Amino acid sequence: MTRTGAARIRRALPAALLIAFFAVFLAYPVAHVFRGALLVDGRLSLAAFRQALDNQVFVASLWNSLWVAALVTFLSSLVSFPLAHLFVHYEFRGKGVLQGLLLSALVLPPFVAAIGMRQLFARFGSINLALLELGVISEPIDFLGANPLAGVVLMETLHLYPILFLNLIAALAGVDPSLDEAAQGMGASWRTRFLRVTLPLVLPGYFAGAVIVFIFALTDLGTPIVFDARDMVAMQIFERAVEGSRDPVGYALVLVVLVLSLLLFLLGRRAVAQKSAVQATKGTVAARTRRVPALMRPLLVLGLGLLVFVTLLPHAAIALVAFSEKWFFTVLPERFSLVHFERVLTDEVAFLGVKNSLVYASCATLLDVVLGVAIAWLAVRRGGRLGAALDACAMLPLALPGVVLAFGYAMCYAGTPLGDYLDPLQDPFLLIVIGYSVRRLPYVVRSADAGFRQVPVALEEASRNLGATGATTLRRVTLPLLAGNLLAGALLAFSFAMLEVSESLILAPAKEDFPIAKAIYQLLGDIQFGAQIGCAMGVIGAALLLYSLIAASRLLGRSLGELFRA
């Protein structure tokens, strides 16, 4: 082989390996779902969908999930629109602190928060006991048992409205205030100005955030499990994946969720593109802020105080459960202790969960850094259609619900040459690591992409002109300059992988392989200390994620938002 031929192979090898990775671990599981739903005896058929329509449980589960997703999106919008308007157009004391408190809901996964909320709203939980003591009620109210979907809606709304809030703040801040002033000068009322001027301009940004909220609420698995809401689509997928059922009806349900999520994701991206096009046609004018009128301040304090209280209620709930030593038929714990944090280290299931998650998340993060650097380098330095396609593949997991991808992983590799290494029933280690890596790869890719765009190409060219190879230049020049960006992306990838729910619950059947989420799920069956140990693990995970977000924010500054942009 000539030197030129060897150089061409080395140049093409990174792209070829990345294409193979996405083909095996992204395209193949998705194709397996399509095949399981649409092929019967090797022929194209819609029989699985007809059977699904005849199955009342499946139909009810799909409708329940759609209604929950729609209601969560509506309630999140109801909270976020006036809140974003207030924070963009008004100045008031403690504004920054309040915004941080409201956004803290993103730190706590609803899977963990639901455990604490279940303790508060149980038949003899804190809320009922407080109402009984105040004489408001004479009999305990079964808040969650009567309608577990209400608990799911509440938890998902509290967790997701900050996403919509952030999108609306960005959209409202980009609206030229002179347009509203012009409409006001022509005699338009505030309602007319909102409907005819402001709303059309912020609608693309709102829709982009609403799509994320809707998809998450539609496919969330952790919260329905805690509230035992079995008639939901994610629970139906989970039960079939755990059972290893290859029923075509189950595949059909997964395919419906997959196609719906992809369509919504594409609509969200189109909305973002429209927003960018609109903003590119006008100059940037800072939104004008004014002080809150004196008569409105008491109402503002009351409203924001109530919202902060409700937002922080799940945090308080898991903290109370985690730190309580004795809490039985009282509104608040009688004694506080660190005993449940000690049990995290002494309980076999909890300790294995923490240890395994550390290993899984560390390996997945290392893989993400390697893949992220390669993809960002190809996309930024080489460019072209191949780089853009690889970047799009890296972003695709944002549109693929975790429960769908985990279902595909659990089903697609058995009976193939990769089955000995990627069968969760034999050894789930590699599959869990790859699943975590694929799901969190977008954070590292966006972070590395931003870093490459900040590193001057002239430095790399100077290194190569001095005789350094491309690998040496990358190792000695580029990567040290990318260190901050890569560390930020890696921190987020690691923290979110530690708290991953869908892959953890579906791909780890044996106790010795449990990650944190599966360990918490198992501990919920322990009526003595299970919920307390699970909340202690949740507090540890939330603290880790909070630290990672703060560290990543300091490393990236305003570029932190790029990590969450598709």
Domains of the chain are: 63-229+270-327 (1.10.3720.10), 338-566 (1.10.3720.10)
Taking Cα atoms as reference points, which of 111, 109, 110, 65 lies closest to residue 521?
Answer: 111
Average pLDDT over residues 497-516: 89
Record the pTM. 0.83
pLDDT of 200 = 75
In this predicted model, what pLDDT tens digit does every residue of 148-167 receive, in sequence order? 888 899 889 988 888 888 88
Confidence of residue 414 (pLDDT cuts 50, 70, 90): confident
Q: What tokens does 336 get?
A: 């506080």
Q: Name beta bridge partners: 290.
A: 90
Average pLDDT over residues 17-38: 90
Counting residues of the chain whose pLDDT is more than 70, the rounded percentage is 87
Residue 185 burial class via C-beta count within 10 angstroms: exposed 0-12, middle 13-18, buried 19 and up:
exposed
In this predicted model, what pLDDT tens digit does every residue of 254-264 receive, in sequence order? 888 888 888 88
Q: Are 408 and 363 in contact (CB under 8 A)?
A: no
Q: What tokens does 103 get?
A: 């956004």
Q: Are 26 and 393 in contact (CB under 8 A)?
A: yes
Among 183-187, 199-203, 319-323, the range scoring the smallest mean pLDDT is 183-187
Residues 6+ positions from 557 with CB-CB distance below 8 Å:
none
Q: Are 131 and 241 in contact (CB under 8 A)?
A: no
pLDDT of 88 > 90? The answer is: no
Question: DSSP H helical segments within 174-247, as ranges?
Answer: 177-185, 190-193, 199-219, 222-226, 233-243
Residue found under tokens 């460019």? 383
Q: How far apart are CA 268 and CA 163, in angstroms?
A: 14
Residue found under tokens 């870093």? 451
pLDDT of 556 > 50? The answer is: yes
Q: Are strands 324-326 and 335-336 parallel, antiparallel or unpaired?
A: antiparallel
pLDDT of 8 > 70? The answer is: no
Q: How far apart are CA 353 and CA 540, in angstroms?
A: 12
Helices 56-89, 199-219: inter-axial angle, 10-degree rounding: 140
Cα distances (angstroms) measured from residue 211 to each of 160, 217, 271, 311: 11, 10, 10, 21
Q: What tokens does 559 get?
A: 């570029």
DSSP classification of residue 295: G
pLDDT of 233 > 80? The answer is: yes
In this predicted model, what pLDDT tens digit does every residue of 446-495 receive, in sequence order? 888 888 888 787 887 787 777 777 778 877 888 788 887 888 788 878 88
| DSSP secondary structure letters along 349-399 | HHHHHHHHHHHHHHHHHHHHHHHHHHHHHIIIII-HHHHHHHHHHHHGGGT
